[in-house]
Structure 1
Amino acid sequence: MSTEIHVAACCDENYVAYAGVMMHSAIQATPGATLHFHLINCSIRDESVDTLRTMLEAMGARLTTYTPDASLYEGLPTLRYGEAVYQRINLPEYIPESIDKIIYIDSDTLVLQSLMELWTIDLQGNSTGAVENLSPKACQDIGVDRTEYFNSGVLVMDLNQWRQRRLHRQVTDYARENAAGLRFVDQCSLNAVLQGDWLRLPLKWNQQSDIYKVIVKYQEGCSYSVDEMQSAMLEPAIVHFTGKMKPWKLYCFHPFKSCYRKVLAQTPWAGQPYPDADFNTRLRFLFALRRHWKFHARRQQLADRFQGKS
């Protein structure tokens, strides 16, 4: 009997195709296990849920959907990112108590290595496993060192601890009281409450787009070594398309965009036009090509140096 791995996601109709790509890539990357996806449905159309379910079941995976409880995020600002950003916080409210652990993964990601390794990681008594946030700015909002501030795009959650200590309620209470001064309300609130209670995971499990800046400009002060950053840059387990560089957009120069597009082409959402393919964007795209060759040249230089060491 294969191992069942529980994976959570939260999205609305605008992101359901991208959640589908994440799930498709996770199944492909994790042979020998049954993936059970738990989707917090933030106003996704029934037809889209049916499309997603059909794809997953055809690949041998399971899908359970949950309707959000609006009272859980009452009083929280939703204008910038919508209600979906808060749903990862409230996963313990939705997931059955028979499930004591779950991997949460953002929808703007691509899974390239088996989740079995992540699923079996020992959290060493911590409630959560996460990867350090590579940008040195967000941590300033809650007054902690950058090495003590994690990115919430990939989380391994000990649901027993979350439920027993009511951590989700602590996080939402913090968000309500401090939202005005936080750059990323949900992520900053998670970090404020979970200080000293999270295990730093290998960088490869959440390779953020800022890695290409950090390895050149901001490495000092980051807890990950240059070697580990180079390894995560070249062979990531999960690519997280943070910031504005989304692989479903024309105006995107991320090195793993082509990998993403290949997986997208295998899903029911294949053939979707670029959402930003207007004339002005195409013009910007052409002019930017020349500017971005330095970015890729630098990445290749680092790759050559790293491979030369091995």
Structure 2
Amino acid sequence: MSEQVYHFGFGVDARYVKYAGVLMTNLVHQHLGQPLCFHLACDGIGEEDKRRLDAFTMLYRNVELYIYDMTKMLDRLNQIRSDAPQRLHRSVLLRVLLPAYVPQNVERLVYMDADMICLRPLDELFRLELGDNAVAAVSIHSAKNSAALKLSSGRYFNAGLLVMAVPVWRSRELTQRVVDYYQRHSENPPLLEQDALNAVLDGEFTELDECFNFLVEVNNPLTIKYPETAAVLHCVNEAKAWTKGCMPQIYALYWRYVRLSLWHDLQPSEPNTAKAVFLAGVTAELNGEKDDAIKYYGAVAKRLMEYYLEEKPELLNK
């Protein structure tokens, strides 16, 4: 009897391919010797990343990699509304498209956002019984989200990690149904494909333990703690593990895999929202990095002044 292959899926735009590469390295090192197959759905991909991905499959002989360039498919969908948060771009829709395009022999696919860190092997996800459900996910107990979508079940999940029963997904034509919902409501759902998935499934999902999608705000000292049982950390909101200002414990976890990866020359990115810049200043201050703290606090003060000059000039004259 052949050993089970673990299939993992990711959806990224060209800028995020490198972060998917680091996560794939992370997963390889958490599943040493285990046959793995990665399915990378891309909204564009650069030549340098193609070269590194080719080298990746040569380096790890237990790994197979499929790359799907879905740029043209995304071009056919409605554009993401202009007021969507910066962290949401159209590549988030790839998690909905991918199950329809993986090879026919794939029965179980674990989809993961590229801003995740795997802390231990995920064998349970490939043994999990889903019953008649197409998806397993971590539930978010949010009456607000359920009410906004008018979910009769009152059950809502986070789509950052999805365990997919691919044959069931296909038999229920979920890719087409979720895309149709998104196309009809693309100006309304605040969380785009996550809301569309929840609206179509309306509670028909198997609930995962929170440990498989534990949400952390990596630059916020108030929300950085996670339990020892956590299997996957999900870096939510604008700051990521690769953003300057990340708390030291998360930085150490993530950059260990950066150094092990073929993207070892990756550099931390600058925070790009006022909140992230402010929290980068807090982190720098906690770490005793006075110059960085001054830089980030000064940048926040400048942004606030620009805001008041443009939007609320009358308040500055009081």
Distance 1:134 1:264 in 2: 34
CA contact (8 A) 2:219 2:245 kept: no
Match of 2:230 among 236, 239, 243: 236
Distance 2:179 2:22 in 1: 29
The equivalent of 1:133 in structure 2 is: 140
Q: What whole-Å deviation, never above 9, does each CA across 1:74-115 have from its counterpart, x for those lacking one?
A: 242236533311111012321122222211111111111112
Q: In 2 relative to 1, CA 287–117 (structure 1 residues): closer, same or farther, beyond 3 Å?
A: closer
1:90 maps to 2:97? yes
CA contact (8 A) 1:24 1:56 kept: no
Distance 2:146 2:40 in 1: 29
Deviation (angstroms), 1:244? 1.7
Deviation (angstroms), 1:53? 3.0
List alignment gaps of at least 5 residues for structure 2.
Answer: 289-318
Q: What whole-Å deviation, never above 9, does each CA across 1:194-230 have from its counterpart, x for those lacking one?
A: 12320001111111126999x99xxxxxxxxxxxxx9
The equivalent of 1:100 in structure 2 is: 107
Q: In 2 relative to 1, CA 256–140 (structure 1 residues): closer, same or farther, beyond 3 Å?
A: farther
The equivalent of 2:7 in structure 1 is: 6
Task: Name the Cα RMSD after superposition.
Answer: 3.2
Moved more, 144-153 or 118-127: 144-153
Distance 2:259 2:204 in 1: 40
Q: What is the one-letter code of the residue matched to 2:113? A: D
Moved more, 160-169 or 66-75: 66-75
Moved more, 94-103 or 50-59: 50-59
The equivalent of 2:166 in structure 1 is: 159
Deviation (angstroms), 1:48? 0.4
Deviation (angstroms), 1:147? 6.6
Match of 1:275 among 249, 254, 269: 269
Q: Give TM-score scaled by structure 1 length.
A: 0.78
1:1-310 alignment to 2 at 5 Å? 1-60=2-61, 61-68=63-70, 70-71=72-73, 74-78=76-80, 80=84, 81-133=88-140, 138-144=145-151, 148-209=155-216, 233-253=227-247, 255-276=249-270, 285-289=280-284
Deviation (angstroms), 1:265? 1.4
Distance 1:136 1:255 in 2: 32
Distance 1:245 1:178 in 2: 28
Q: What whole-Å deviation, never above 9, does each CA across 1:244-265 have from its counterpart, x for those lacking one?
A: 2301011223742320111111
CA contact (8 A) 2:115 2:234 kept: yes
Q: In 2 relative to 1, CA 283–154 (structure 1 residues): closer, same or farther, beyond 3 Å?
A: closer
Deviation (angstroms), 1:287? 4.3
Q: In 2 relative to 1, CA 210–272 (structure 1 residues): closer, same or farther, beyond 3 Å?
A: closer
Q: Give TM-score scaled by structure 2 length.
A: 0.77
Q: In 2 relative to 1, CA 70–258 (structure 1 residues): closer, same or farther, beyond 3 Å?
A: same
Distance 1:114 1:266 in 2: 17
- Structure 2 SS opposite 1:151: strand
Runs of 4+ in 1 over 6 A off after TM superposition: 210-213, 280-284
List alignment gaps of at least 5 residues for structure 1.
Answer: 217-229, 294-310
Q: What is the one-letter code of the residue matched to 1:17? A: K
Distance 2:135 2:38 in 1: 19
CA contact (8 A) 1:10 1:106 kept: yes
Q: What whole-Å deviation, never above 9, does each CA across 1:37-81 have from its counterpart, x for those lacking one?
A: 011121111320220231243123111111216346624223653
Deviation (angstroms), 1:144? 4.1
Q: What is the one-letter code of the residue matched to 2:53? A: L
> When the two structures are aligned, how many residues end up with a matched partner?
277
Q: What is the one-letter code of the residue matched to 2:51? A: D
Distance 1:158 1:292 in 2: 45
Moved more, 266-275 or 183-192: 266-275
Distance 1:261 1:193 in 2: 38
Q: In 2 relative to 1, CA 148–257 (structure 1 residues): closer, same or farther, beyond 3 Å?
A: farther
Q: What is the one-letter code of the residue matched to 1:169? A: Q
